[in-house]
Structure formats: C-alpha cells, structure tokens
Amino acid sequence: MIASSIGLSILAIFANLAISAAGIDKSEGLWPTIVLLPTIGLPIGFILIFVLLIMSVVSRARAARDAGKQ
C-alpha cells in the first residue's frame, strides 16, 4: 500500500511533466485528478512509512521484553 501510493504519485508527477511539455489543457477530463494526485498521495505515503516504522519498533521492543522474561 505504501509503495503503490508513492509509486502512483511519482507516475502522476511524470505524467504532469509530460502533459505540460506537450501543451495539453489540464483543466478538462481526467487531468485535474492526475495533477492533484501527488498532493494527496505523497503525504499519505510518508505518513504510512512512519506508521510502519513505529509499529516495527514497538513489535521489536515487545519481542525483546518477552525474551528477557524467560
């Protein structure tokens, strides 16, 4: 989910660069969504990376604590 969010946002950035270079009107069709996608997708991806990091640290701390009790 993290990789797909960030990967899709990066692809949308490249698509935005390509349509800007081609001179296509970005106000019609699917283009406004493609232009807005990195604004939403990248912060969500980075938040998910931090959540995964915190979950990993908590899990390792619990495992170490449980191993010390035996």
Q: Residue 32 pLDDT > 80, yes or no?
A: yes
What domain count does the chain have? 1
Domain hosting residue 36, numbered range: 2-69
Q: Kindly tell me if the per-residue pLDDT of 21 is higher than 80.
A: yes
* CA separation, residue 33 to residues 7, 11, 40, 41, 45 (Å): 16, 13, 10, 11, 17
Q: What integer is the mean pLDDT of 26-48? A: 92
Range from 2-6, 12-16, 61-65, 66-70 carrying the lowest mean pLDDT: 66-70
pLDDT at site 70? 66
